[in-house]
């Protein structure tokens, strides 16, 4: 009886993380039933990843910005601007697409540095700077394209957003995808065990072994199920590989690097971080440079996948990215959040969009439902904080 009480007490303390996974599972199961099995059909899972990849990529950068106590409203416009410049470089200036990709990433860093300068060194709030950036870079995209659209990119460039890794075999499950999925599962187990051993070494471990096992098994099963679904269709989307590298890399940065700890410190208590010797202006500047590069990656992926550079691209992307971060457990006041949590939040939005589209729900009601989900996520965060303070 005591063990059960201790288990319930621990789970109550982990309500934020548990609720996130439960919400994802409930939403997937609901749409799997209401769409007569279409939601988890291999082709739909593949399309779900490809069609929401740019939101998940933006969420990786946005969660870092929000953890630091800032916000970036310009990412949708930057996506459009970078896509426009990619179109102009490749189609009008006839620059080879690999060089155009590199130049677009550099341009994204410059955009981020421009905004980061005003925020970090001039002291203008990020909300105002990026609101101005939303207008500036939307206008820049329209000017670059002359309010026209550019399409028909090289197939190698298009593969970035809609292509798949080479497939092997003619029937059954695609072997390369199975191998990558198994490697990802092994990496999850190895990383989890390593982190637990490190925490135990420094006597920081308070997670019961049963919960550790349940959590790892759940993640491994999730990866293996997605692997089997993808392997039974066209294999691994190239954009999933890009997203995987970003998630692994930035998770490591936020959890193991000095830069990541400084971001959490700034969001948790700016004054204390400054007194502790954190170079807050430099960290903030680099944070927005990074957000510019992330937005450039999302812009390239979106343009390549759509095979179209349009001045209207990226409309509402900032709202989806911000929603993904808050649904994923980030605190409105900063200092709390994780990259994996933002990805789960993005998947919840992606499944909602996909499921409602399959069911033929009007776009008006889709916006209404997504707004209510976001409000519920933030309210849940506020409730958790009050409950923990009260206890």
Per-residue pLDDT of the chain (391 residues; tens, 9 = 90+): 666 666 566 566 666 667 777 888 888 999 999 999 999 999 999 999 998 999 999 999 999 999 999 999 999 999 999 999 999 999 989 999 999 999 999 999 999 999 999 999 999 999 999 999 999 999 999 999 988 998 889 999 999 998 998 887 656 788 899 999 999 999 989 988 888 888 888 777 667 887 788 888 988 998 999 999 999 988 899 999 999 999 999 999 998 899 999 999 999 999 999 999 999 999 999 999 999 999 999 999 999 999 999 998 989 899 999 999 988 888 888 888 899 889 999 998 999 989 999 998 888 888 888 888 888 877 777 776 676 655 5
Return d(Cα 160, Cα 163) in angstroms, integer: 6
Beta bridge partners of 237: 164
Written as six digits, the tokens of 256 are 């193991």
Measured over all CA atoms, what is the biggest interatomic distance in the chain, rounded to whole angstroms? 73
> Which pLDDT does position 12 carry in this prediction?
63
DSSP of 200-268: HHTT---S-HHHHHHHHHHHHHHHHHHHHHHHTTT--BHHHHHHHHHHHHHHHHHHHSHHHHHHHHHHH
Tell me if 154 sits within 8 A of 90, measured CB to CB. Answer: yes
Q: Rounded to 5 degrees, what angle do the CA atoms 219, 184, 293 make?
A: 100
Tell me if 352 sits within 8 A of 89, measured CB to CB. Answer: no
> Which pLDDT does position 128 carry in this prediction?
96
> Which pLDDT does position 254 carry in this prediction?
93
Q: Residue 164: helix, strand or coil by DSSP?
A: strand
**Residue 177 φ/ψ, nearest 5 degrees:** -65, -40
Long-range contacts of 6-10 (CB under 8 A, 24+ apart): 6/208, 7/208, 7/210, 7/211, 10/208, 10/211
Can you give the pTM of this predicted structure?
Answer: 0.92
| Nearest Cα residue to 292 out of 104, 93, 34 | 104
> Which pLDDT does position 3 carry in this prediction?
60
Return d(Cα 42, Cα 232) in angstroms, integer: 7
> Which pLDDT does position 5 carry in this prediction?
65
> Which pLDDT does position 102 carry in this prediction?
97
Q: What is the DSSP letter of 309?
A: E
Return d(Cα 72, Cα 61) in angstroms, integer: 10
């Amino acid at each position: 009886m005591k063990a059960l009480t201790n288990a319930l007490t621990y789970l109550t303390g982990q309500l934020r993380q548990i609720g996130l996974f439960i919400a994802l599972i409930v939403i997937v199961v609901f749409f799997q039933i209401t769409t007569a099995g279409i939601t988890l059909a291999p082709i739909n899972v593949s399309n779900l990843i490809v069609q929401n990849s740019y939101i998940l990529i933006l969420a990786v950068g946005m969660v870092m910005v929000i953890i630091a106590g800032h916000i970036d409203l310009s990412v949708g416009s930057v996506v459009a601007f970078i896509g426009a410049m990619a179109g102009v470089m490749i189609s009008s200036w006839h620059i080879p697409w690999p060089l155009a990709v590199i130049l677009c990433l550099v341009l994204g860093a410059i955009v981020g540095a421009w905004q980061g300068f005003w925020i970090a060194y001039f002291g203008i709030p990020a909300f105002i700077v990026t609101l101005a950036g939303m207008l500036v870079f939307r206008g820049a995209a329209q000017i670059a394209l002359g309010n026209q659209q550019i399409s028909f990119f090289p197939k190698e460039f298009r593969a970035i957003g809609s292509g798949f890794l080479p497939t092997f075999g003619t029937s059954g499950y695609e072997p390369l995808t199975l191998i990558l999925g198994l490697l990802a599962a092994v990496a999850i187990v190895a990383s989890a065990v390593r982190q637990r051993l490190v925490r135990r070494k420094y006597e920081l471990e308070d997670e019961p072994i049963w919960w550790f096992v349940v959590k790892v098994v759940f993640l491994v099963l999730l990866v293996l199920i997605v692997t089997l679904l993808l392997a039974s269709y066209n294999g691994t989307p190239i954009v999933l590989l890009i997203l995987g590298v970003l998630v692994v890399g930035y998770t490591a940065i936020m959890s193991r690097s000095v830069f990541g700890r400084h971001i959490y410190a700034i969001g948790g208590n700016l004054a204390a971080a400054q007194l502790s010797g954190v170079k807050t202006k430099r960290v903030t500047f680099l944070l927005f440079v990074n957000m510019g590069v992330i937005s450039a990656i999302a812009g390239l992926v979106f343009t390549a996948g759509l095979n179209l550079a349009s001045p209207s691209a990226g409309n509402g992307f900032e709202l989806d990215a911000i929603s993904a971060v808050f649904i994923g457990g980030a605190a409105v006041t900063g200092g709390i959040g994780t990259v994996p949590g933002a990805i789960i939040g993005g998947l919840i939005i992606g499944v909602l969009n996909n499921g409602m589209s399959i069911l033929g729900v009007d776009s008006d009601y889709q916006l209404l439902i997504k707004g209510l989900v976001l409000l519920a996520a933030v309210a849940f965060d506020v409730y958790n904080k009050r409950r923990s303070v009260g206890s």
